[in-house]
Structure 1
Amino acid sequence: MSEHKSTVYVDADACPVKQEIIGITRAYGLGIVFVASNAHRKNTPDQGTWVYVDSEKEAADLYIMNHIKRGDVLVTQDIGLASLVLPKKVYAISPRGNVYREESIVTALDYRYVAAKERRKGNYGKGPKPFTKEDRETFCTAFEKILSEMAGEFE
């Protein structure tokens, strides 16, 4: 049986912590795959492997779902995508440092559903809070903890 080396997958189109992911992941020797739509193609991409997919709505999600494996890590703001990969025994975290877990993802999906229903009725909230320095620090702490726990499992 071949040993799978864990990879960090990043739903990269709107990810505000790419540089932090690169810096923290480098210390653990893991690969990074940034998945972005062609509409967000960079002339000089950051470090890591960049995969560009069609600009269709779910193209990045489909690529990630088809390539991510047990023991990998996903960084995404997409609760729906996180809910689909968690059963594969993947670690999933948001750029704000919220760690998605199977036992709590249903509640998050329920909130997302209710919010979408309200938007269809024309009731729009304030939108997401601005991304803060504290969000960045929370992400770094939680991401480092995940990678550290993973490193302990494979020693």
Structure 2
Amino acid sequence: MKPTVFIDADACPVTSEALEVARACKVPVVIAGNSTQNLARHIKRGDLRTPTDGFWVDTLAVGVGSDAADFAIVQELSRGDVVVTQDIGLAAMAFGRGARAIGVRGRVYTLATIDLDMHIRHEEKKLRRQGGRTRGPAPFEDDDRDRFTTNLRRLIEESLREEA
């Protein structure tokens, strides 16, 4: 069974790039996000919308809750799937289902570092709750898109090899 790419589409700047890579690798995609978004806007005319042996794309609209898309994605994950997300918590949950995760800037999350990532996220959130400030993300650059595309292709190819 081929891996599926799941895109956490809430504020995802690389949805189009993820779809292009999936088309090239001939793997299915599920775009998940808040039901108030027009998730179908990312789908090209002619893209198959029902499961086939190659590339197809579907949308998964969820409620407005803050983690609704994350939990919906986790419920659908299978071993070898790939999750595109900015959310470290979702990346951690993906590992629990045997899936892989990549950030929108091309950072591949690993089991070796996810605990530290979660710890840093917790400490920064704690600091903000106490009135402190943390630095925001750097501006999104073309290099981020290129790194994302390269690393997503590598993750998908690794998953395809493992499934064979």
Q: Compute the TM-score of the two structures, normalised by the length of structure 2.
A: 0.87
Structure-to-structure mapping, 1:3-152, within 5 angstroms? 4-42=1-39, 44-47=41-44, 48-152=57-161
Would the aligned equivalents of 1:87 and 1:102 in 2 still touch at CA under 8 Å?
A: no
Would the aligned equivalents of 1:35 and 1:60 in 2 still touch at CA under 8 Å?
A: yes
Alpha-carbon distance between aligned partners in 2 of 1:92 and 1:66, rounded to the nearest angstrom: 15
2:52 paired residue number: none
What amino acid sits opposite 1:103 in the alignment? A
Q: Deviations over 1:89-131 (max 9, x none)?
A: 1010001011111111000001101100110111122311111
Deviation at 1:146, TM superposition (A): 0.9
Alpha-carbon distance between aligned partners in 1 of 2:59 and 2:82, rounded to the nearest angstrom: 16
Alpha-carbon distance between aligned partners in 2 of 1:82 and 1:17, rounded to the nearest angstrom: 16
Q: Which moved more, 1:37-46 or 1:117-126?
A: 37-46
Alpha-carbon distance between aligned partners in 1 of 2:163 and 2:36, rounded to the nearest angstrom: 38
Would the aligned equivalents of 1:38 and 1:54 in 2 still touch at CA under 8 Å?
A: yes
Alpha-carbon distance between aligned partners in 1 of 2:40 and 2:6, rounded to the nearest angstrom: 20
Would the aligned equivalents of 1:41 and 1:52 in 2 still touch at CA under 8 Å?
A: no
SS at 1:21's partner residue? helix
Unmatched 5+ residue regions in structure 2?
Answer: 45-56
Could you list the structure 1 runs, at least 4 aligned residues long, displaced by more than 6 angstroms after superposition: none
Q: What fraction of aligned residue pairs are identical, expressed as a percent?
A: 35
SS at 2:29's partner residue? strand
What amino acid sits opposite 1:31 in the alignment? P
Deviation at 1:19, TM superposition (A): 1.1
RMSD of Structure 2 on Structure 1 (CA): 1.4
What amino acid sits opposite 1:101 in the alignment? T
Q: Which moved more, 1:123-132 or 1:111-120?
A: 123-132
Deviation at 1:152, TM superposition (A): 2.5
What amino acid sits opposite 1:14 in the alignment? A
Deviation at 1:45, TM superposition (A): 4.1
SS at 2:36's partner residue? helix
Q: Compute the TM-score of the two structures, normalised by the length of structure 1.
A: 0.91
